[in-house]
Amino acid sequence: MLVLSSLVAFPQRKAEGDWLGTLDVGVKLRLVIHIDKSTNGNLSGTLDSPDQGAKGIPASAVTISADSLHVAVASINGGFNGLFINDTTVSGVWSQGPVKAAMTIVKTKEEVKINRPQTPKPPFGYKWEDVEYDNADKSVHLAGTLTYPTAGGPFPVAILISGSGQQDRNETLFGHKPFAVIADYLTRRGFAVLRVDDRSTGKTSGDLKTATSADFAKDVEAGIAYLKRRAEVDTARIGLIGHSEGGLIAELLASKRQDMNFIVLLGGPGVKGSVLLAEQNKAVLESGGISADIANQYKRFFLQVSSYAVSEKDTSIAYKKAWSFYKDMQKTEKLNWQTLGYKDDTTTAKIVKGLVNTLSLPWMRYFLSTDPATLLQQTNAKVLALNGEKDIQVLPKLNIDGINAALQKSKSKVYDTKILPGLNHLFQKCNLCTVNEYVVLEETFSPDALREMGDWLQQNVQSK
């Protein structure tokens, strides 16, 4: 573990040890500061944020001055400054960027752990294999885990497809392993399940520079080809379960392959990517306390900038159009976006340029311009679409309505959609239902959502 050292100014206080504090920034996050003392008297430290799955972040400075403790963590633009109340308690302020919050840290001898009670633990009661295979052109070597019941077969099988961003085979996020939970549940109900490390993650290779959802779909197709070689698999009952962007990939494959028996969309898109992200931005801003007026203004701005990023191959032209549109909005609507970081023209120009560059990336351009409705209209697979009622990333009514409308025009004879009460985008039972809350909820995946999916699959796939 890499740590950086600094000189102890006043060694009368013993800072070495583990210090635990709870940061309240709308949600409560535990921070652990580990302080060590070298033989030459220097202090060094590292920071853990257990609830966010972060560990061993090096401190850039640890110093004591009289009764004060200062811990700087330059890599995250953060730090703690406090006063010793006694040898085991320091009261102070945590700062990170513009955020400042009171925090008291206390010495602890116990290891601070995150509680994820749903994570499956052996013995599993079913067969469990690590598997590896290549995609069609050998450009990606994929690795994953296949589970299936110990007796019977061949079994219907589901391939799990993760959401945006590179995930491991368990879709691990903040210590949660939702795909491990789903695979465990469905395997116990008689299904085979394949879950795979995403491209360039874990034991899977592959380039990401120009990769889009269409490329990730080819990786899933490699999994389909692999499963067709397995004696445990009923090749007439192969299906896909996609979360978030994984739902788009499932829709894409179901639109062009006649051998997909079913797809399950977990918070999957039902409207064009640009609309989905614009609505997502609006909902996330409002959940963070931004007024509805500003959130709506930003939604319109985002939609327009997205159109420039998609239509203009030259990002400099896209930026000029985006900047002009922003200035027009500023004149006509008297924008007050300081809370969004748009403080002056210099700062705003950098933000807008960064937004254009991000929206112009190959993956993003593909996502923004793809309409799930056109894909779903071409499928003959059985479809189940589930959304959490409190989802602010893939808004439930907007997307479920889009999915329903498309499926009514499709060749699918079996499809169902449902909005599950009280659940967020990760299908956790939520309280604040903000993105920041994902990390502090102990539930990984709602048992209600598992039952909805399992019962539907049993009725429409397993028993057929």
CA-wise closest residue to 193 among 165, 219, 169, 222: 169
pLDDT tens, 115-164? 899 999 999 999 999 999 999 999 999 999 999 999 998 999 999 999 99
Question: What 3-state class would DSSP assign to 265?
Answer: strand
**What was the pLDDT predicted at 281?**
95
The pLDDT of residue 279 is above 60:
yes
Average pLDDT of the chain is 92
**What was the pLDDT predicted at 12?**
57
pLDDT tens, 16-34? 899 999 988 777 888 999 9
What residue spans define the domains of the chain? Answer: 5-108, 127-272+370-462, 274-366
pLDDT, mean of residues 277-297: 94
CATH homologous superfamily of 127-272+370-462 equals Alpha/Beta hydrolase fold, catalytic domain (3.40.50.1820)
pLDDT, mean of residues 423-448: 93
**What was the pLDDT predicted at 11?**
46
CA-wise closest residue to 434 among 21, 22, 29, 20: 29
pLDDT, mean of residues 72-97: 91
pLDDT, mean of residues 347-353: 95
Side chain identity, residue 111? E
Question: What 3-state class would DSSP assign to 41?
Answer: coil
Q: Return the minimum-mean-pLDDT range out of 118-127, 209-218, 432-441, 445-454.
A: 432-441
pLDDT, mean of residues 377-396: 97
Q: Return the minimum-mean-pLDDT range out of 72-86, 98-112, 118-132, 244-258.
A: 98-112
Q: Which two tokens stand for residue 52?
A: 């966010």
Q: Which two tokens stand for residue 10?
A: 């006043």
Question: What 3-state class would DSSP assign to 234?
Answer: strand
The pLDDT of residue 166 is above 60:
yes
**What was the pLDDT predicted at 224?**
98
Spatial distance between the Cα atoms of 400 and 266, rounded to a whole number of angstroms: 11
**What was the pLDDT predicted at 110?**
82
pLDDT-derived band of residue 109, with 50, 70 and 90 as boundaries? confident
The pTM is what? 0.84
**What was the pLDDT predicted at 464?**
67
Question: What 3-state class would DSSP assign to 228?
Answer: coil
Q: How many helices (H) and strands (E) does the chain have?
A: 11, 18
pLDDT tens, 354-369? 999 999 999 999 999 9
Cα–Cα distance list, 135 to 207, 236, 363, 433 (Å): 13, 21, 19, 38
pLDDT, mean of residues 308-331: 96
**What was the pLDDT predicted at 116?**
92
CA-wise closest residue to 282 among 304, 300, 307: 300
Select from 3.40.1410.10, 2.40.128.120, 3.30.830.10, 3.40.50.620 the CATH code of 5-108: 2.40.128.120
